[in-house]
Amino acid sequence: MPITRGGIAAISLACLAAWGTVLAQGKPDDGLAIGRQMLAEDNPGDLWIDRGKNLFYEKRGPKNASLESCEFGLGPGKLEGATAQLPRYFPDTDRVQDLESRLLTCMVELQGFKREDIVKRAISPAGSTGSDVETLAIYISSRSNGMKMNLRLAHPKEREMYKAGEYLFFRRSGQTDFACVQCHGEPDKRIRLQDLVHMTDKKQIQEVVATWPAYRGAHFTVRTMQWRLYDCFWQMRLPELKYTSDVSIALTTYLHYQGNGAVIKVPGFKR
């Protein structure tokens, strides 16, 4: 991914410059926080909300249908508050699904798209206008803005997913013997200039779950939680994380439940 890595290098340089100034002030974390705040106030990700809305209501696919009757857990087409409770169990598929796997179900069942085709394009190239799924994910999540993350784990399969996610979060695996918790289980850790979010801290995990999907500066486009997990798997040199696999949904269930109570505010802005 030459563009992506190049983009990261460019942003790292920019951060380095900013950090230099901040170091002079003796408070590096404050400086980075101020930078992030400034970026978030002018978030290009907002542009995807309207695009996603148009896509949602447009009649598309072999069945020439919109997504208006797609059910995200609160009734057909009811989007307000829906992502605050995802992942959740859906009786029609008999699975626990996150936003993106549910979108796949609807795009296949209602609109007649081929699953493989959507999956192939789900994570868009850096610098692009974003895939349909990414764009729709931004719009649908934005309908829960201001609401609190509230996973209930009422169904036994939701509890199983949570347990699996917790296990995976703490389990060391692969050639580097990394677990998520090694990078995300302590305060004030960094890789190069990137802060590593401390996800066993309630406040920090809430900040995470409140802000995905997000605009990713280094990629000049929007990204979802599926992408984020895919990228951390890559960093851990684990086998490629399959899009909307149970492993990804287990981890998302674990993270979202840990972040319960977070006030949703998407799209987030990530460096």
The stretch near ligand HEC (CB under 6 A) out of 43-51, 109-117, 131-139, 176-184 is 176-184
- Given the rule CB under 6 A, which of 26-34, 65-73, 82-90, 175-183 is the region that contacts ligand HEC? 175-183
Report d(CA 209, CA 268) in Å as an integer: 10
- Cα gap 266→144, rounded to integer Å: 9
Cβ of residue 244: shortest distance to ligand HEC, in angstroms? 15
| Cα–Cα distance measured from residue 71 to residue 140, given in angstroms and rounded to the nearest whole number | 12
Which of residues 65 and 214 has its CB atom nearest to ligand HEC in the complex? 214
CA distance 73 to 252: 17
Site string for ligand HEC, 248-267 (x = CB under 6 A): ---x---x------------
Q: Contact between 178 and ligand HEC (CB under 6 A)?
A: yes
Query: Whole-angstrom Cα distance, residue 210 to residue 191?
Result: 23
Neighbours of 219 (CB within 10 A): 23
> Binding segment for ligand HEC among 87-95, 99-107, 149-157, 183-191 (CB under 6 A)?
183-191
The closest of 175, 104, 93 to 136, measured between CA atoms, is 104
Among the listed residues 53, 60, 143, 184, the single contact to ligand HEC using CB under 6 A: 184
39 binds ligand HEC (CB under 6 A): no
| Residues of the shown chain interacting with ligand HEC in the complex, contacts defined by CB under 6 A | 169, 178, 180, 182-184, 191, 194, 196-197, 208, 211, 228-229, 232, 235-236, 251, 255, 270-271
